[in-house]
Amino acid sequence: MEATGMTGGSTSGDQWERFPAAVREALTQHAAARVADVHDGISGSKGPWRPLRPVFLDRDHYAELGVVSQRLMRLVLEACRRRAGTVRELLEVLRVPAEDTPLLRHDDVLGDDLLVSARPDIVYSAGVPLFVEFNIDGAIGGTLHADLLARRFHQVCQDLDGEGTPVFSVPDSAVDARSAVIRSSLGLPEGARVVIPAFSKGTPPGLENAEAFIAWMAPMCESGRRHGLDTVACAMDDLSTDETGRLTFDGRPVDAVFRLFQGDQPPSPGLDALIRAVRDDRVGMHTDEAAWLLSDKTTLAWLWADAELLDAADRQLVETYVPWTALLSTPGVMDEELLAYAREHRAELVLKPTSGYGGSGVLLGPTVSDAEWEAGLAAAARASHPYIIQRFAEPDLIAMDFSHAETGAVERAEVPFVLGPFLFGGRATGVLVRHGVPAGGQVLNANHGARMSSVVLVDRPC
């Protein structure tokens, strides 16, 4: 595949500034009047600021993002296969502690089925979409946020339909696409029982309470039922195994588990039951925990390390869309040449642990002092897990109007943002957006104050 020279059709990918001023003003005013309806019941973000618009993507550009995402995901799997043939071998190469992955079946091969569910993190820099992380796993959040907010913002746009207004649409439902791929990838029959366990570690803001979390997942259960599956959400400790070793919930056998969590959850009887059933191949799971290993940020360093092994088109794809990434350290071993480079080029780099989520442990070189950077490098040298350094992608900013949930005040700010297009079964669907807020920082995670939002597609510009 050739690199497409893809840009967003604007300096940031967002089409907002291309709309006539009158259209922008009308949309902002209408959204301000509807803001409570648009954001009603949407959990997952901290803070009072609520955006008055989505990110607007050109439909052709959205399709190109899907094509590039699919190819890069395939290259990640191929990089892993050059180093390991089985899950056990990949676990060892990545230096992932076994206790972090209790649901793994170590003798499984690294098959194409690991690519069934993914969501890259894309930052625009000088108009170019850069894939700074690639989440390949079933436990990727935000599908419901993406669907709900896309539909609600689209309705705001449709309310103003008229001459001079762009033609808008929404991406295909990420929730429905995932339900379809759960059934097809696991070969589940009509009426198969699928459970979605609520979890405690890594929950989005506002969903820490198990009952609230289960209620939030109701639309996912409804989607599963539309696709012929008996899908229910439950507390983790409502799971058990019967005398045959099958996983059960509410006294009935479970055919498959829709896993939205990482395996490093607190020990519990329900988690123990799930581990037993998975290891004994007594229940299906979307997805195998082995898929999560492909999300390890080491794999992006491997793409760059293997550049000479790629054909010209794939090498250009990596060099164009993946910021330079290198493995700085593994437990007990520091690459001294890279360490010297990192010290000299702090303002150009990001320091990241290779595993984990939620922005934990990430250090942006341009935003910290030399002393803070040195402390981060020292922490990486002592850590029990590897670290990478990555070329810092100076994020393009988008102008966004926000409404304050408590005062109703409207404030405009230029904020960074991350796009996360969902790919299920290799097909691009909805898009999760995380963006900053007034006076916010650059680590764009909901637990750090960023807002979750979505994308509305522009089918025809003004």
- How confident is the model over 252-258, as a mean pLDDT? 98
Q: Where are the beta strands (DSSP E) in 357-416?
A: 363-364, 387-391, 398-404, 410-415
Average pLDDT, whole number, for the chain?
Answer: 92
Q: What pLDDT, on a 0 to 100 scale, did the predictor assign at position 247?
A: 98
pLDDT at 360: 76
pLDDT digits (tens, 9 = 90+) for 197-252: 999 888 877 788 889 999 999 999 999 999 999 999 999 999 999 999 999 999 99
The answer as to whether 437 is a domain residue is yes
The pLDDT confidence band at residue 93, using thresholds 50, 70 and 90, is: very high
Alpha helices in 287-402 (DSSP H): 290-294, 298-305, 312-321, 336-344, 370-382
pLDDT above 70 coverage of the chain, percent: 94
CA distances for 89 relative to 99, 114, 293, angstroms = 16, 15, 11
Does 10 score more than 60 pLDDT? no
**How far is residue 291's CA from residue 230's CA, in Å, rounded to a whole number?**
25
Question: Is residue 112 situated within a structural domain?
Answer: yes
CA–CA gap between residue 143 and residue 30 (Å, rounded): 25
By residue range, what is the domain housing residue 108?
A: 16-168+297-322+400-460
- Of the pLDDT bands very low, low, confident and very high (cuts 50, 70, 90), residue 98 is confident
Whether 49 is covered by a domain: the verdict is yes
The pTM (predicted TM-score) of the whole model is 0.94
- Give a yes or no: residue 440 inside a domain: yes
Assigned domain for 405 exists: yes
Among candidate residues 210, 251, 253, the one with its CA nearest the CA of residue 234: 210
Give strand pairing partners of 363.
Answer: 351
Report if residue 175 sits inside a domain: no
Q: What is the mean pLDDT of residues 348-352?
A: 97
In a domain? residue 1: no
Segment among 169-178, 250-259, 391-400, 445-454 with least mean pLDDT: 445-454
In this prediction, residues 130-153 reach a mean pLDDT of: 96
Identify whether 425 is part of a domain.
Answer: yes
- Phi (first) and psi of residue 317, to 5 degrees: -60, -45
Does residue 7 surpass a pLDDT of 60? no
Is the pLDDT reported for residue 418 higher than 70? yes
If one counts the domains in the chain, the total is 1
Starting at the earlier edge strand, list the strands of the sheet with 49-51.
49-51, 398-404, 410-415
